[in-house]
Amino acid sequence: MKEIKVQAQRDHIFTLCSSATIPAIAELIWNALDADAYDVKVDVIENSLGAIDAVRISDDGSGININEIEHNFGNLGGSWKRNTNRTLESGRVLHGSKGRGRFKAFSLGCFVEWRTTVEEDGTLRSYIINGEAADPSHFTMDSIDDPGPATGTEVLITNIRGPLSILRDTAEVVQQLSAYFALYLKAYPNVRIYYQGLLVNPVIVQKARQSYSLKSSTGERAELEIIEWRARKSRAKIIFCDTRGFALHEVDAAIRPGSEFNFTAYLISPIFEELHRENLLLVEELHPEINAFLEAARETLRAYFRSIREKMEENIRLKWIEEDIYPFRSKDKTSETLSKLFDNYASALQNYSGSFDTLPTNEKRLVFELLKNSLTSDPADTTKVLSANLKLPASVKKSLAASQLK
């Protein structure tokens, strides 16, 4: 048995063991990809009671370099990746370089086991490396008599810490991992990541994709790539990325286009890698240039979703006209002003009534005629009636109230 001691202060190492669930899994996937893996599989193992017993991440990469195990595992910040920016075999760009990724496994479970198979002088050899969250500065390594059938590494995390309930929501995890690896998988389409047997494929779970070019006041440029997701709503993020597609830092998008939109926005530029090395991305809104890109990105996002919403509203209006239930025909200015107000109220009625679309055409026409007459005579009272009977969200009430003033 070989003892491996990490050359760093224990309190500093403990800080590296803290991570949210999905980012921790993403770091372990990155480690596999940096080892030239083409297939990475993440599996959650449950016991008979439905509780999570273990998390396993396996890959078909080149394995852990045992000849430099003491250097790679024993030196924090001394990763072999610091001396190169490409993987050794396939030449793909590297993600990590500081040797910190492995510690994220301890945020998931108290015991972590790395089983790795490498090729040495034309012969396959397997090894097992163990670590514990109680002392993440200490690892042990043993050789295995019967080597695995091919090179690769399996990380097995046991004695799970916390419920990790999100890992049971396969669709949500696949979407979040898609957001993490979208740009990388676009650059390397022959790489496959699986979660619980489902392929993490951003193309499948994305609804739309759009790119814009941004320019700061100092002349620096960045690309803003917006991906809309098909899955249910999660907190929207703006992610700073380098030109290789690696996420460096993320912030809240801080725009609320509506509950029907679920998106991630990527700000991509070589300048972010430089700022990341200086830890300046962490103070994004205090740094003038970063803040300028953030504001430009947010304004672009607002315009993007405003345009989509206008198209959606126009399509709904055309559908109403096609069904012959739309109560406006005149093009005079008074009718146009009233029709815009009507469109806001009619959309709220359709979206939140839950049964409007199931009504016969003549009943829809009657409802719309009554709504039009009510708006013509007393818009304020109409808002009260709709709010009381449809239980509209506060955001919708505010929108309708504002529309009366226009």
Q: What confidence score (pLDDT) does residue 339 get? A: 81
Q: Cα separation of 76 and 215, whole Å?
A: 37
Please give the share of the chain, as a percent, with pLDDT higher than 90. 37
Task: Indicate the DSSP class of residue 90.
Answer: T
- CA nearest to 34, candidates 184, 179, 180, 138: 184
Residue 275 lies in a domain: yes
Q: What confidence score (pLDDT) does residue 69 get? A: 78
Q: Are residues 157 and 17 part of one domain?
A: yes
Q: Are residues 236 and 162 part of one domain?
A: no
Q: Are residues 378 and 338 part of one domain?
A: yes
Q: Are residues 212 and 281 part of one domain?
A: yes
Q: Are residues 329 and 259 part of one domain?
A: no
Q: What confidence score (pLDDT) does residue 340 get? A: 78
Q: Cα separation of 287 and 220, whole Å?
A: 14
Q: Are residues 81 and 15 part of one domain?
A: yes
Residue 356 lies in a domain: yes
Half-sphere exposure of 119 (CA within 13 A, CB side): 9
Q: Are residues 356 and 282 part of one domain?
A: no
Q: What confidence score (pLDDT) does residue 77 get? A: 54
Q: Are residues 301 and 208 part of one domain?
A: yes
Q: Are residues 17 and 56 part of one domain?
A: yes
Q: What confidence score (pLDDT) does residue 96 get? A: 60
Q: Are residues 149 and 15 part of one domain?
A: yes
Q: Are residues 329 and 303 part of one domain?
A: no
Q: Are residues 227 and 128 part of one domain?
A: no
- Judging by DSSP bridges, how do beta strands 135-144 and 152-160 pair with one another? unpaired
Neighbouring CB atoms inside 10 A of 394's CB total: 8
- The domain of 246 spans 202-308
Q: What confidence score (pLDDT) does residue 351 get? A: 72
Domain count, the chain: 3
Full-model pTM = 0.71
User: Which tens digit of pLDDT belongs to each residue from 73-118?
Assistant: 766 654 545 555 677 777 787 876 556 778 999 999 999 999 999 9
Give the chain's residues under pLDDT 50.
Answer: 78, 80, 405-406
Q: What confidence score (pLDDT) does residue 74 get? A: 67
Neighbouring CB atoms inside 10 A of 49's CB total: 6
